[in-house]
Amino acid sequence: MTGAEMIVQVLVDEGTTAVFGYSGGAILPTYDAVFLHNQAQADQGIEQMPLIVPANEQGAGFMAAGYARASGRVGVCLVTSGPGATNTVTPVRDSMADSIPMLVICGQVPTAAIGTDAFQEAPVSAIMGSVAKHVFLVTDPEKLEATIRTAFEIARTGRPGPVVIDVPKDVQNWLGTFRGEGTLPVPGYRKRLFATTHAGIEDDEAAAFFAMLRDAQRPLIYAGGGVINGEASSALTEFAETFGIPVVTTLMGIGAFDTTHRLSMRMLGMHGAAFANYAVDDCDLLLALGSRFDDRVAGVPNKFAPRAKKIAHIDIDRAEINKVKRVDWSHVGQLPEAIRALTAFGRKTGFAADYSPWHQELELLRTRHAMNYDRSSPLIQPYYVIEEINRLTQGQAIIATGVGQHQMWAAQYFDFCRPRLWLTSGSMGTMGFGLPAAIGAQFAEPKALVLDIDGDASIRMNFGDLETVTTYNLPVKVVVLNNFGDGMVKQWQKLFFKGRLSASDKSLHKKDFVKAAQADGFEFAVRLDRKEDVPRVVEAFVRYPGPAFLEVIIDPDAGVYPMVGPGQSYDAMITGDHIVARHAPVKTDAPGPSEMF
């Protein structure tokens, strides 16, 4: 085989069902190999591995990430050298920050030309080395096959992440023997992986945990994205139900625990539900699972969970233990196995506790401090639109978002009955993520209902991928909540910059989203600007069998509440005019310039 054919064969062997990328000179041999492979598959009537072409390489990276987030499999992105590779830097960093398994294969100038500033050359290893989980530059063609296979292994094991492989054109054209097996020796990585994979919770460790739980009256589970990445959702649900412990989740952990479950307290944090944050304030034992006490959750670490007498933490990554907040009990290892070990020990020892007073207190919090908004406003409120979509989807749809206010409204008002239905750029907060991620998710789950909930500013970032939706006739549903500007930035400017809307007000911009969608081939492209039309139009939109685009003109002053200011604790939480606060926010100094965002 040629090197290019080897790349394609390993992708097939690893179960890749779609590749996302944009062609160019340095990657042409591999693109040709994909073409020939698919042609041979078609001739035999076998399912192919389609190569999906976006508007640009950033879109390809986010499609691969959406594919990975929705399926749990490694997403694959195939791009050319130079600008093709550098356009994927943001998706790579985004996937690293959210622990998403992705493989980016970049073409590179021929080996002899590396370092000569050849046409479309970029120092990919140097650029990607600081943002990827691992980077390979293949200069020995004999190691190409093993490198691709090893890259898959690194991307999906341990704490998942993106791996980048830089393949010179001459290595792609090289002719050699395909072995069909073998990986590179990466002894340090495999030793660490073996340690975490085989790190079981011993009986004395479990006994120490249950001793803490026995002393608690108000225990709470704080579940993060690691529960989803580690496929630990069912283990978490079994544990929570067995011992009656309620659950809050982070933004990235949404769906790890069914939001409609009686023990669910939904999302905590900067824009978490008021009742979720109050539950954190009130708990006396906090169990953190696959979460990292990041600044959007624990803005002031020493004031986070202030009444918790004990904190326990389980994570796959040792570096996260005691990184932000000191804990009293911890375990580093695979989440499903660790949680099931605790469940088994508790059952074996007959552990039982009556947390009914705590459950009653939480039910009261849920009722008194429920999410709410101005339901009598004549303007279309974004929350109302999401509630109407949610009424139809009932927590079963895949929801991708851009970044901004619409992202938080979607997190707050949609239900998610299982993992991998919520796709959002969490740690990086990358605008333009939603549309390509939805496309990738639709390829990963062809029969699923996939919606992109976007904002007028965020969707502009990768607006060209509207055409990608219709090119491949994907039944993706795109919602643009249009408030004529960078809504979240405007909200912060109103709160912290005395209302100076510097470069965030786009009310004078001329884009006609509906005409643009029609030009890109959307046969269902509708603007919704009357409140009384919301139920009818939303239902027609969701039920439409093919690609559908809906622009909703929303109240431009609609805000995201609750809100905990940057660098502040939950006692300073602002609940707005329509969510009942437990007490007036504690007076604090305005965030300093270095604390913004």
pLDDT band at 583 (very low <50, low <70, confident <90, very high): confident
Tell me the pTM: 0.96
The pLDDT tens digits of the residues spanning 202-233 come to: 999 999 999 999 999 999 999 999 999 999 99
**Domain co-membership, 213 together with 140:** no
pLDDT band at 594 (very low <50, low <70, confident <90, very high): low
Whether residue 488 lies in the annotated active site:
yes
Taking CA atoms, 50 is separated from 21, 78, 240, in Å, by 11, 12, 41
pLDDT band at 282 (very low <50, low <70, confident <90, very high): very high
Per annotation, catalytic residue among 5, 14, 57, 121 = 57
Per annotation, catalytic residue among 39, 119, 202, 596 = 119
Mean pLDDT of 523-528: 98
Here the CATH number for the domain that contains residue 499 is 3.40.50.970
Q: Is residue 54 part of a domain?
A: yes
Type of residue numbered 433 = F
**Domain co-membership, 148 together with 242:** no
Whether residue 568 lies in the annotated active site:
no
Would the pLDDT of 146 be above 90?
yes
Cβ atoms of 54 and 91 within 8 Å: the answer is no
CA 512/CA 534 separation, integer angstroms: 20
**Domain co-membership, 69 together with 171:** yes
Average pLDDT taken over every residue of the chain: 96
**Domain co-membership, 229 together with 125:** no
Per annotation, catalytic residue among 102, 145, 153, 169 = 169
Would the pLDDT of 18 be above 80?
yes
**Domain co-membership, 243 together with 284:** yes
**Domain co-membership, 180 together with 39:** yes
Closest CA to 405 of 422, 383, 420: 383
**Domain co-membership, 281 together with 225:** yes
Q: Is residue 373 part of a domain?
A: no
CA 480/CA 489 separation, integer angstroms: 17
pLDDT band at 247 (very low <50, low <70, confident <90, very high): very high
> Positive or negative, the Cα torsion across 138, 143, 145, 148?
negative
Whether residue 381 lies in the annotated active site:
no
Q: Is residue 416 part of a domain?
A: yes
Per annotation, catalytic residue among 9, 41, 120, 217 = 120
The pLDDT tens digits of the residues spanning 288-342 come to: 999 999 999 999 999 999 999 999 999 999 999 999 999 999 999 999 999 999 9
**Domain co-membership, 522 together with 536:** yes
The total number of structural domains that make up the chain: 3
- In a 10 Å sphere around its CB, with 0-12 CB exposed, 13-18 middle and 19+ buried, how is residue 157 labelled? middle
Would the pLDDT of 527 be above 60?
yes
Whether residue 169 lies in the annotated active site:
yes
pLDDT of residue 595: 61
Q: What percent of the chain has pLDDT over 90?
A: 92
Closest CA to 104 of 171, 169, 151: 151
Structural domain harbouring 191: 3-195
**Domain co-membership, 66 together with 190:** yes
Taking CA atoms, 38 is separated from 8, 42, 80, 474, 593, in Å, by 10, 6, 20, 20, 54
The pLDDT tens digits of the residues spanning 332-368 come to: 999 999 999 999 999 999 999 999 999 999 999 999 9
Q: Is residue 19 part of a domain?
A: yes
Would the pLDDT of 24 be above 80?
yes
Per annotation, catalytic residue among 96, 212, 431, 488 = 488
**Domain co-membership, 453 together with 540:** yes
Greatest extent of the chain over all pairs of C-alpha atoms, in Å: 72
Name every residue whose Cβ is closer than 8 Å to that of residue 216 and which is 6 or more positions away in sequence. Answer: 284, 285, 309, 310, 353
pLDDT band at 592 (very low <50, low <70, confident <90, very high): low
Q: Is residue 11 part of a domain?
A: yes
Enclosing H/E stretch for 431: none
